[in-house]
Structure 1
Amino acid sequence: MGFPITPLLPEVLRSLDAHPRLVLEAPPGAGKTTQVPLALLDAPWLAGRKIVMLEPRRVAARSAAMFMARQLGEDVGGTVGYRIRFEHRVSSRTRIEVVTEGILTRMIQDDPTLEGVGALLFDEFHERHLAGDLGLALALDVQGSLRGELRIVAMSATLDGERLAAFLDAPRLSSEGRSFPVRVEHFPARRDEALESQLRRAVEQALAQHPGDVLVFLPGRREIARAEAALSGCGPDIEVLQLHGDLPVEQQSRVLQPSAAGRRRVVLATNVAESSVTLPGVRVVIDSGLAREPRYDPNSGFSRLEVVAIAQASADQRAGRAGRVAEGVAYRLWPASQRLEPQRRPEIAQVELAGLALELAAWGNSDLRFVDAPPPGALAAARELLQRLDALDARGTITPPGRRMLALGTHPRLAAMLLAADGDGERALACDLAALVEARDPLRARSDGWRPRWQALAAFRAGRGDGDAHRGTLAAIDVAAKQWRRRIGAGAAPRAEPPAHALGDLLAHAFPDRIGRRHDRDPQRYQLGNGRMARIADDSALRGEPWIVASELRFEARDSLVLRAAPLDEARLRAGFAAHFVERDEVRWDAARRALVAERVRRFDGIVLDARPAGRVDPALAAQALTDAVAELGLDALPWSDGLRQWRARVQALRAWMPELALPDLSDDALLAAREHWLRPLFDGATRLDALSADAFGEGLRARLDWSLRQRVDQLAPTRIVVPSGMERRIDYALAHDGSPEPPVLAVKLQELFGLAETPRIADGRVPLTLHLLSPAGRPLQVTQDLRGFWERTYPEVRKEMKGRYPKHPWPDDPWNAAATHRAKPRGT
């Protein structure tokens, strides 16, 4: 059997023989996933070592391994095997190992030398999953420091290959593939029509007007189930099949094979069918234009799968599935006027990064080379959370508990909870909670408590029906819980109803920042461990609980709304989080009194349990409190003089005009961020905000620059300039709202510039002054940066108008050669 990629395989081998990295582009169906690993098996540089291929999805990993094994006439687990979450089929003979993304990261972390591995292949790299980006960054670090001979191949169907090849400093090869023309049509929805109804009309039209099977792209299992129901009754000759990552292996294999009965098929698939697997006989694609992709959900603190519009590259790739065996057609269920993003955004830019931060800490090197660097703010927030979970210490080094969390292969929050469980029953309950938190909500009715969800799961296990719960979702949760119990060595599922606070006591270890204590005066409000406030709904099942832990919150302007929580037992909380309960003297700024208040405070993290007057104000605490008060009130609370504001504007202007000077950033944001270094020492010994004098403040701010830089500022951005009249005139500097420098202004009477042809400039001649040319009475006549042009074109009109108004002042016909003056004409002239 020939594949479009086959003619290119010798060039792939030659390239990898000469260079350790390669970017390989080939369209869907070219055969890169299954033919490239087999072609590399006998490469001399591989020397009998293993090939590990990263496949983003479990369906594709199994499918690719099975296909390659069949080509070799073997069963999976021989020369070709696979590893996915909770499942593996490999042996000592396995030379090609297909793995999913988290598995690859664990392999590299557990064995940084990758002993016995000769090549890493990153398939479908264009999908830009976070784990794939991390895997590539780790592989490049291994190759650069330990294994220079390791081969790294990035393979994709729709990829910015030129950019990736430049990043990797790698050759780039492309296969044309083999495809037939595909006609694209936009299938309009009717007014207020549901997606399932529009889809049924499209399927009926496709079956009536076009030959072959129909492939339908939908965002997820829920939409697939609705579509399947909508398509019931299409006819006895039509077979409707599902394809998604949670299907049993047997059902997946059935979809990937032609129909045994020769019936036409309608395959309802997630984007797993976009590029990772091959479906025979498809001549029509119906594309919803939607996919479920991870996005950071601040309510839960996790990245959640959300339904989003696909990118144009994905739409093109989906349409191409209709042209694999003959000419085809693609129906798009969105308007032709709708514009899609050109490429899929990398996950690293839009998901929660706690898992990535923990992996980097375990690796011991945070300076890895990423195709797209993780956002600094999201990474800093992730590290702060990991410190709360005791996964990192204060220096950012991974702790022993952090390494145990990493080994569990789930979000650090859930890993912390699983590890905190004590005893077989509690560990089993933790497994249930981990499965419930990761899954879609099984309840149909709204509830903000976790106990009804666990009770629905227990009822499902006991075979009792529950009309308020989705049985399919509960079945998936039950399977996931069993896998977790097997993973951590827990026994059977919990049989008895857990104690009232058991769920909350476990969840507290996953969400320590969201532990809440009831407000003393408002029973619906809770102060959280992170310092924020939250409220429960009027009809909340949690009403009256003194302590809760909120796993999901909706962030609002004043108080966050608790969406899902469980009650806590205070005694268990004190035992499990003893180090978080502290009593100490604190000094804070009272904005209403504009004064410092000293208190003896008992607290749990950000929750104040009790506070009483402490008497004398500790000087060190006072200095810190005043510094924090400035952060709250803003820098305008400090004693600025006009001269100091001008000096700061001059520094900021020179930073923009002459970056080679490397002047420090004195913007509001930068000064507040660095306040501990320059402002706090200025408050030593002070107990009031107004104790800081303007002179001391000015000297402290100017000390941000050393003496030589201050001299350069005075030379390059002077405060005054001598004009032709012999007088010194002030230069005004200002910053725009965005912090950029505005043109410096010289306001001067017109007569003082007679004889001057060119506009004065500063900053080594780079920046012209903006001249505000004034009348003898000091009123503006003209604003210009082109003095020569003013004399040539505008001055004659100004002279004609002003000469009669100010006859005592000179208005010569020839300003070029007139004497500059700041005085009126002598009497009698």
Structure 2
Amino acid sequence: MQQLPIDPHLDGIVTKITGDKPVILMASPGSGKTTRVPAHLLKKIKGHSSQKIIVIVPKRVSALSAADRIASENNWVLGEDVGYQVRFENKVSRQTQLIFMTEGLFLKRIQSPGFWDEIHTLIIDEFHERSSSIDMILGLSFEQKVLGRKLQLVVMSATLNLQQLQNFLGDSETINVEAPPHKLEIIYSEKNQKLICDDMFFNHLKETLQKAWKTTQKDVLIFLPGQREILRFRNIIQPLFPQNRIEILHGSLSLNEQKQIVRNDTGVGRRIILSTNVAESSITVSGLDCVIDSGLEKKSYRENKVGFSGLDLQRISLFSAKQRAGRAAREQAGYCFKLWHATDEMSMKEQIEPEILKTSLLEESLVLHQQEVTDLDSFSWLTKPLTYTIKQARHKLLKWNLITESSALTPLAALVSKWPLSIENSILHYELSLRGFSNDSAKLIAVLESGSVESVLEKNKNFNGSDVAKIIDSGSLDFSSERIYQQILSSCKVSAKNTTQDSFETALIQIYAASFPEKVAFVKNKNNAVSMFGRGLQVAAGSQAANSDFFIALAGRENHTQFTQIVCALGFDKKLAQEIFAPLAKKQSEVHYDFEKNEFFKTEQLKFETFVLNDYGKSRLNADELKKNWKEFFKKSSLDFLKIHPSYEKIKDRLSFLARKDMSLSDESKIQIENFEDLLTDYILQGYDSFEDYKNCDLFYLSYQVLNEQMSDLLQNLPDSVKSNRGRSHDVDYKDDKAPMISLKIQDAFGWKDTPKICHGKFTLTLELLAPNMRPTQITSQLGLFWKNSYTDVRKDLRARYPKHDWPEDPST
């Protein structure tokens, strides 16, 4: 077995793990912590305990690779001594004690009775990636330990926010193994980083590869943001390296395909390996002595109005850059060529932003309820999610009949939590199965989940029918879809109870309208539509949905434009829409304020979500009605009521400014800014008995009460205006991109040696210096340099134009 840097430390590490305190293990990339620590721990407890060691890894490829490597290094049988469990695939037996598991599957498994009792040690690897699931697993396991369960908890990574983690875990053991495997030379580019993958980016990458190929002796691993960029670059370099293997490494490869790339079993000639960030951590690619890092990655994001996801091209964090570079020196001295200038790192984030701040919290909320955590605000979050998101997730779980008003789980929640599907697809399959469509449901969901929907529709493009019909009648499925289809049929069984005369497609429309109305869209003209909550949609050419009045968006793709590209949809006409929408519609009244007429009015409409089925018009709101029901109206139209107060926009401008400019804000402060409207509304409704009292209140003072100490102090020290030496007050603009900014005549700045600062000196003002005719002559936040350098030329011009004014040579005195 190859000696790794972590090996001399294993006995000491395992001794601490077998103690009572949580363990934080930091070790250099390539040191061997992922494979050696769990294996050494298993040898220690084997024969003394039948409990399991569970290693949580962020990616499927990491679970398969690490388990296979440990089995190979220790002459163990994969699936007996050590194994893995990932979605739709597992290699374990009853006696397997060391199991590598993806985070999503672990959250499914803990719903099984007695599962926590089976765990001896829970190891969370590559914690720096900060997925929402990893944060939840940390909180749940920590609470289990606090409640007295005999469970050991280990958090591992090469890069961690150590202080935050130590504060969270409290009395814990920290082990820091600074033992890089071999010497690593970092080579920066002379060019600044390109943030788009255009021709210049690929030319730069090609030149860097050619340089690296001459400098190094072995295989080269290149990190690219996604498969599209990988395929394009492979086509570029194939003619340049005709004798060398160019291999692609990504998360959906089978174990055998991974082995061939990771182990380099053939060992013939040098290779170029093009990889997404799956090779960033937890796996070792043999035969490397060089990494080329683009410094870019694609992160999934969700568009909230319609609910589809896209990939966002962005810079990696410094934590990720360190992980990637470490791949090059795992087996011998290596090189890392970075496609960015050293100065670019000054603007790179140190660590990955926690996903919990961006997720919908649906899956997370259901898991926590299943673990009897019903108050998500008080859960042990390392980083607390937004209060608004918590409320929205609870609203949807109630709507889908997964929890009751008292936060108890329903029988439906207990059923779908065991299924290997997303919550939305679990609800869809359950409802369709009740109506007698389990087979068609399983096939449709399998194609949607596998991501093969576009290829299936392309294969059947000449079929005259809806997109759904093309999928259901498509015949044989590809390997991935077939595997998911069979697992749904075997694992997600529901007896038909509400059989219907309606077709499968009609049942599908009914379920989407009732449970997923954000996917309902109104067709404006051919290929263009608007979703229920206002998102612009474009339908794939040739889809039956393009010629319909309405459609259900079944699959879509986001790309940061004003439209979501819908790749699979089911169209229907106005008659069917009226039949389906009418039972779901509600009569709604809303109160609005007419700022021009300075009066309130009330509107009443029959609406299915945002679609208006009948409009009853608007009526003026009289004083008695306002006095009697103002709190109810305030709740429904809080933003309109808040805007009536003259101080509200000023406060919002300041809070938006702080969110943009203050990098020292705590996570709690950021959440409070995000939820300020709700916080202030709740406080007003609790503290005031009449609308008139609210209108006359000091809204700034109320804001200080609802915000935490950091935010209250900052807000109190952001002034309305700043006085110049001439005694004139100048309003501070907090809206402008250059805020905080004041506009003043250049003579009013005379006597200031440098630019004034506000808020205890935290923020430097931007000065818009005006000529006597009130036109800008200079915008600066470095007044001292302006006096010293540019003022001479400006003075010369102003003296010629305005000779009666005083223009001193040294205006700073």
Same fold flag (TM > 0.5):
yes
> What does residue 167 of structure 1 align with?
168
Q: Which amino acid aligns with 2:67?
A: A
> What does residue 516 of structure 2 align with?
511
The answer (yes or no) to whether the contact 2:582–2:608 under 8 Å persists in 1 is no
Structure 1 residues 35 and 424, CA gap change in structure 2 (3 angstroms): farther
Q: Which amino acid aligns with 1:131?
A: S
> What does residue 442 of structure 1 align with?
454
Distance, in Å, in 2 between the alignment partners of 1:360 and 1:403 is 13
Q: Is 1:67 aligned to 2:69, yes or no?
A: yes
Aligned with 1:185: secondary structure? Answer: strand
> What does residue 399 of structure 1 align with?
410
Unaligned runs of 5+ in 2: 496-502, 648-672, 706-711, 723-813
Aligned with 2:110: secondary structure? Answer: helix
Q: Please say which of residues 390-399 and 153-162 is displaced more in the overlay.
A: 390-399
> What does residue 376 of structure 1 align with?
387
Task: Provide Cα deviations, 1:557-604, integer angstroms capped at 9, x if missing partner.
Answer: 9x98785653347787788888633458x4755748877777875432
The answer (yes or no) to whether the contact 1:311–1:344 under 8 Å persists in 2 is yes
Structure 1 residues 27 and 625, CA gap change in structure 2 (3 angstroms): closer
Q: Which amino acid aligns with 2:159?
A: T
Task: Provide Cα deviations, 1:700-742, integer angstroms capped at 9, x if missing partner.
Answer: 99xx99xxx9xxxxxxxxxxxxxxxxxxxxxxxxx99956686
Q: Which amino acid aligns with 1:327?
A: A
1:37 Cα deviation from its structure 2 partner: 1.7
User: Could you tell me which of 546, 567, 589 is aligned with 2:571?
Assistant: 567
The answer (yes or no) to whether the contact 1:79–1:94 under 8 Å persists in 2 is yes
Is the radius of gyration larger for structure 1 or structure 2? 1
User: Could you tell me which of 364, 367, 370 is aligned with 1:362?
Assistant: 370
The answer (yes or no) to whether the contact 1:427–1:490 under 8 Å persists in 2 is no
Q: Which amino acid aligns with 1:411?
A: S
> What does residue 260 of structure 1 align with?
266
Residues 192-591 of structure 1 correspond to what in structure 2 (within 5 A)? 193-235=199-241, 237-298=243-304, 300-302=306-308, 304-339=310-345, 340-365=348-373, 366=376, 367-422=378-433, 425=437, 427-429=439-441, 431-433=443-445, 435-436=447-448, 439=451, 442=454, 480-481=484-485, 483-488=487-492, 504-505=509-510, 507-508=512-513, 511-516=516-521, 542=545, 545-550=548-553, 563=566, 565-568=569-572, 580-582=584-586, 586=589, 588-589=591-592, 591=594
> What does residue 712 of structure 1 align with?
none
Residues 655-666 of structure 1 correspond to what in structure 2 (within 5 A)? none
Aligned with 1:421: secondary structure? Answer: helix
Distance, in Å, in 1 between the alignment partners of 2:201 and 2:721 is 60
Structure 1 residues 638 and 407, CA gap change in structure 2 (3 angstroms): same
Distance, in Å, in 2 between the alignment partners of 1:215 and 1:230 is 16
Q: Is 1:15 aligned to 2:16, yes or no?
A: yes
Q: Is 1:672 aligned to 2:674, yes or no?
A: no
1:87 Cα deviation from its structure 2 partner: 0.8
Structure 1 residues 384 and 550, CA gap change in structure 2 (3 angstroms): farther
Distance, in Å, in 2 between the alignment partners of 1:527 and 1:240 is 44
The answer (yes or no) to whether the contact 1:388–1:512 under 8 Å persists in 2 is no
1:328 Cα deviation from its structure 2 partner: 1.9
Aligned with 2:302: secondary structure? Answer: strand
The answer (yes or no) to whether the contact 1:451–1:503 under 8 Å persists in 2 is no
Q: Which amino acid aligns with 1:152?
A: L
Task: Provide Cα deviations, 1:320-359, integer angstroms capped at 9, x if missing partner.
Answer: 2222233222222234442322222222223332221222
Aligned residue pair count: 657
Distance, in Å, in 2 between the alignment partners of 1:594 and 1:629 is 19
Distance, in Å, in 1 between the alignment partners of 2:255 and 2:693 is 76
1:74 Cα deviation from its structure 2 partner: 2.9
Q: Is 1:35 aligned to 2:46, yes or no?
A: no
Aligned with 2:332: secondary structure? Answer: coil
Unaligned runs of 5+ in 1: 464-473, 492-497, 641-664, 683-691, 710-734, 746-829
User: Could you tell me which of 122, 131, 134 is aligned with 1:132?
Assistant: 134
1:204 Cα deviation from its structure 2 partner: 3.5
Distance, in Å, in 2 between the alignment partners of 1:163 and 1:615 is 55
Distance, in Å, in 2 between the alignment partners of 1:583 and 1:299 is 22
1:153 Cα deviation from its structure 2 partner: 0.8
Q: Which amino acid aligns with 1:289?
A: G
The answer (yes or no) to whether the contact 1:501–1:566 under 8 Å persists in 2 is no
Q: Which amino acid aligns with 1:315?
A: A
Aligned with 1:306: secondary structure? Answer: strand
Aligned with 1:634: secondary structure? Answer: helix
The answer (yes or no) to whether the contact 2:31–2:330 under 8 Å persists in 1 is no
Aligned with 1:329: secondary structure? Answer: strand
Q: Which amino acid aligns with 1:282?
A: L
Aligned with 1:256: secondary structure? Answer: helix
Distance, in Å, in 2 between the alignment partners of 1:281 and 1:274 is 16
Structure 1 residues 272 and 744, CA gap change in structure 2 (3 angstroms): closer
> What does residue 157 of structure 2 align with?
156
Aligned with 1:166: secondary structure? Answer: helix
Structure 1 residues 441 and 313, CA gap change in structure 2 (3 angstroms): farther
The answer (yes or no) to whether the contact 2:4–2:181 under 8 Å persists in 1 is no
The answer (yes or no) to whether the contact 1:4–1:177 under 8 Å persists in 2 is yes
Structure 1 residues 207 and 476, CA gap change in structure 2 (3 angstroms): farther
1:141 Cα deviation from its structure 2 partner: 1.5
Structure 1 residues 503 and 475, CA gap change in structure 2 (3 angstroms): farther
> What does residue 102 of structure 1 align with?
104
1:138 Cα deviation from its structure 2 partner: 1.0
The answer (yes or no) to whether the contact 1:513–1:529 under 8 Å persists in 2 is yes
> What does residue 764 of structure 2 align with?
none
1:40 Cα deviation from its structure 2 partner: 1.8
1:538 Cα deviation from its structure 2 partner: 13
The answer (yes or no) to whether the contact 2:225–2:313 under 8 Å persists in 1 is yes
1:152 Cα deviation from its structure 2 partner: 0.7
> What does residue 144 of structure 2 align with?
142
Aligned with 1:102: secondary structure? Answer: helix
The answer (yes or no) to whether the contact 1:451–1:566 under 8 Å persists in 2 is no
Distance, in Å, in 2 between the alignment partners of 1:265 and 1:561 is 39
Q: Which amino acid aligns with 2:106?
A: L
1:154 Cα deviation from its structure 2 partner: 0.8
> What does residue 634 of structure 1 align with?
641
Aligned with 2:29: secondary structure? Answer: coil
RMSD: 4.8
TM-score (norm 2): 0.69
Aligned with 1:374: secondary structure? Answer: coil
Distance, in Å, in 2 between the alignment partners of 1:36 and 1:510 is 46
Distance, in Å, in 2 between the alignment partners of 1:41 and 1:397 is 38
Distance, in Å, in 2 between the alignment partners of 1:368 and 1:615 is 46
Structure 1 residues 233 and 545, CA gap change in structure 2 (3 angstroms): closer
Q: Which amino acid aligns with 1:432?
A: L
User: Could you tell me which of 77, 81, 94 is aligned with 2:83?
Assistant: 81
Distance, in Å, in 1 between the alignment partners of 2:405 and 2:583 is 14
The answer (yes or no) to whether the contact 1:387–1:393 under 8 Å persists in 2 is yes
